[in-house]
A and B are shown apart, each in its own frame.
Chain A
Amino acid sequence: MTDPARQPVVAGVYTTAMSRRSGRSGLSHALEALKGALDDAGMQLSDVQGLYPMVNQWPAGPASSNWYLHFSNWAGQLGIPIRWFTGGVNAAATGAPAILDAAAAIASGNIHTAAIVLGGAHPTRTDGRTAVWTRHGHEFTGWTGSYTAVQFALVARRHMLEYGTTPAQLAAPAAAIRSYGHVNPAAVMYGRGPVDVDTVLESRMVADPLRLLMCAQVNDGGGALIVTSAERARDLPDPAIRILGGADQLCYPAYAEAPLLEHPLGGPFPTGWVDDGFARAGVRREDLDFLSLYDGFAIWILTQLEMLGLCGAGEAGPFVESGALELDGRYPTCTDGGCMSFSHNGTPSLFRPIEAVRQLRGEVIDDCPDSESGVHTYDKTLCRRVRDPKIGLAMSMGPPTGGGNFVILARD
């Protein structure tokens, strides 16, 4: 049992303005976000002991792919000693895994406060190529012309072949998520909807069966989240959000190996990691009020629902088609508009848990006339506010199949 004083909580969150072209660096977004999240938490930079940082380019000096240099650069820039630097060198790590690691470090008493901070800018190029993070020049995949969209198209095709999943079922999560973004003034694609299944199916083909609107867009922006102990959060202005638990799993090198719906050495992928995560959090699946899944590609929503055991293997297609992800559905999902509509800045993992925190705190701005005062209509043509949510699950960037990472958050 965790010492109640050391119960890890989220004390502050912040996102910068998301835009196609901000004219700023990823670091600039990250620094604004860090200051904003600390302010939201009622804390100072000097309170930060642990750091999980990621920007898609370090503007001065050597690149940050070297772990030691990465954290040295950050310590130098922030002017504070960093006492816990165990992750956050890549885009996947700065989501749920960073929250779980910070929570463990706080629960064990190693540190009392950690900041997760990220920023990305200028992700697209002008030479007609897709965003740089989609291209993997690997020895056994690069020559085929595979890249992220193709990897997920291969997963989607096999899902269709094995389970009878249809193009309309692939389109359903994209339509639901993009329609949330349509009513989120902070989303890059705000006002660019609502989006229905037919609109998704009419968008141009990228990698069959994935169409343009089934893939995330790209933009500039940043975010930060502060993890601290319940004891230190006691006097803070906003109610702290408890970090109940979660889990991670990896089974093979994504993008280097073929993405399969089964383990490369045979048999199904192990699923015990998900049950373990729910058990540690003390949460049953039926307790979840909403989801903030990782929606880089529409098929990923289907495979995450199945992986989490929120529907049976192969059943995600009919499940999402029934409206399960919409505001009046069983699991409102990616209510900010997700990667597809709110923000994919190259390092967007943290935006999924940030949206979960905002739903749990009731800090949701949408097209309802009085949303700034916390008054919502629950009419999904205007509203993206989940009704009185107490427990939410957020996933972050992970492999196409066989694993992932998630964190379960709750308000008191």
Chain B
Amino acid sequence: MSASPRTKPVPEPSEISLPFWEAARRGELRIQRCDDCGQRWWIPKAACPRCLSEAYRWERVSGRGTLYSWSAVHRPADPEAFGDEIPYLVAIVRLEEGPHMLTRMTACEPEDLVKDMPVEVVFEQASDEITLYKFRPAPGAGGGDPA
């Protein structure tokens, strides 16, 4: 990357989301799951969006999912932050466990991507505190070389 990494936005954890980022730093993808009704959800919330229970756990998920949608971005909102990555792939992944995540696809080209192809999480350190969660084609998915 040629642009200075300091210009890229780095997430700032909230009181609620902090366990997610701590897990990501350890290479684990965890999302909230309700202790009372079993509902899983993304993005982090203060209570279960199905039964409003405030009793939940940060459950580790498989990191596997399918590609719901994607866009190759040619015109970033902030060229100073993202101009060095054009075109970059913003994507929506449906986790095996249900919830959808807005994320990035990496280790592939736009033409490799097909509807609902299997993908898997890959972690990328952005700062001392923050490790980002991106996805790449799963081995054998037929989309590019995930190695």
CB distance from B104 to the nearest CB of A (A): 5
Bound-complex Cα distance A208 to B105 (A): 14
Q: Which of A129, A205, A257, A258 has the most CB of B within 10 A?
A: A258
Does B139 make an interface contact (CB < 8 A)? Answer: no
Bound-complex Cα distance A353 to B104 (A): 38
Bound-complex Cα distance A155 to B49 (A): 23
Residues of B within 8 A of A287 (CB): none
Residue of A nearest to B79 (CB): A128
Interface-lining segment among A184-192, A194-202, A260-268? A260-268
Does B125 make an interface contact (CB < 8 A)? Answer: no
B79 and A129 contact, CB distance less than 8 A: yes
CB distance from B117 to the nearest CB of A (A): 11
Bound-complex Cα distance A264 to B102 (A): 12
CB distance from A267 to the nearest CB of B (A): 12
Residue of A nearest to B43 (CB): A140
Does A153 make an interface contact (CB < 8 A)? Answer: yes
Residue of B nearest to A256 (CB): B43
Does A207 make an interface contact (CB < 8 A)? Answer: yes
Interface string of A152-171 (1 = CB under 8 A from B): 01110110010000000000
Interface-lining segment among A109-117, A142-150, A357-365? A142-150
Residues of A within 8 A of B55 (CB): none
Q: Total interface residues on B, using CB and 8 Å?
A: 47
Does B3 make an interface contact (CB < 8 A)? Answer: no
A207 and B72 contact, CB distance less than 8 A: yes
Interface string of A338-368 (1 = CB under 8 A from B): 0000000000000000000000000000000
Residues of B within 8 A of A234 (CB): none
Residues of A within 8 A of B99 (CB): 264
B126 and A143 contact, CB distance less than 8 A: yes
CB distance from B84 to the nearest CB of A (A): 11
Does B38 make an interface contact (CB < 8 A)? Answer: no
Do A157 and B69 form a contact, CB below 8 Å, given A139-B13, A143-B9, A143-B11? yes
Interface string of B76-108 (1 = CB under 8 A from A): 111111100101101110000011111110000
Count of A-B contacts judged by CB separation below 8 Å:
121
Q: Which of B26-80 contact A (CB under 8 A)?
A: 39, 41-43, 49-50, 68-80
Bound-complex Cα distance A142 to B74 (A): 16
Residues of A within 8 A of B12 (CB): 139
Does A108 make an interface contact (CB < 8 A)? Answer: no
Residues of B within 8 A of A145 (CB): 73, 76-77, 81-82, 85, 88, 90, 104
Residue of B nearest to A148 (CB): B77
Residue of B nearest to A253 (CB): B43
Residues of B within 8 A of A259 (CB): 92
A150 and B90 contact, CB distance less than 8 A: yes
Residues of B within 8 A of A128 (CB): 79-80
A157 and B14 contact, CB distance less than 8 A: no
CB distance from B119 to the nearest CB of A (A): 14
CB distance from B100 to the nearest CB of A (A): 5
A143 and B8 contact, CB distance less than 8 A: yes
Residue of B nearest to A156 (CB): B71
Interface string of A203-233 (1 = CB under 8 A from B): 0111111101000000000000000000000
Bound-complex Cα distance A362 to B86 (A): 47
Bound-complex Cα distance A161 to B92 (A): 13
A207 touches which one: B8, B74, B85, B104 (CB < 8 A)? Answer: B74
Bound-complex Cα distance A359 to B10 (A): 48
Residue of A nearest to B81 (CB): A145
A interface list, Cβ under 8 A from B: 127-130, 134-135, 137, 139-147, 149-150, 153-155, 157-158, 161, 204-210, 212, 256-260, 264-266
Apart from A206-B74, A208-B71, list 15 A-B contacts with CB within 8 A: A137-B9, A140-B43, A141-B102, A144-B103, A144-B104, A146-B90, A146-B102, A150-B73, A161-B69, A205-B72, A206-B73, A207-B73, A256-B43, A258-B68, A260-B92
Q: Can you show 15 pairs from A to B with CB atoms below 8 A apart?
A: A127-B80, A128-B80, A130-B77, A144-B104, A145-B73, A145-B77, A145-B81, A145-B82, A145-B85, A145-B104, A154-B69, A157-B69, A157-B70, A158-B68, A266-B98
* 4 A-B pairs with the lowest CB-CB distances in the bound complex, closest first: A153-B71, A147-B77, A258-B102, A158-B69
